[in-house]
Amino acid sequence: MEPETASTCLKRLSKIEGQVRGISRMVEEDRYCIDIITQIAAARAALRRVEEAVLKDHVSHCVEHAIASGDADEQRTKVAELMEVLARTNR
């Protein structure tokens, strides 16, 4: 992973960690369900943004390298990995 991407993702993950702790406190404090659900949705959206950044980095480096290498086995492996992870994220 590119250092800039890793740094950005780590900052976002730290914020998400705080969000999740806040959600936990909301549950402990028996806060209004809709408010809790709203915060869960915000945390999920933030995780999706991290996922997108990691995926973009992977495609622009790992997959691109496999394509440029001319190694058909490596290309098939990277494309299969990419298809599998995309299928999992859409579940």
pLDDT digits (tens, 9 = 90+) for 32-89: 999 999 999 999 999 999 999 999 999 998 888 888 998 999 999 999 999 999 888 8
Beta strands in 1-91 (DSSP E): none
From the list 86, 47, 62, 83, the residue with the least C-alpha distance to 2 is: 62
Evaluate if pTM is beyond 0.85. no
Q: Which residues contact 80 (CB under 8 A, 6 or more apart)?
A: none
Cα–Cα distance between 52 and 46 in angstroms, integer?
Answer: 10
Neighbours of 23 (CB within 10 A): 19
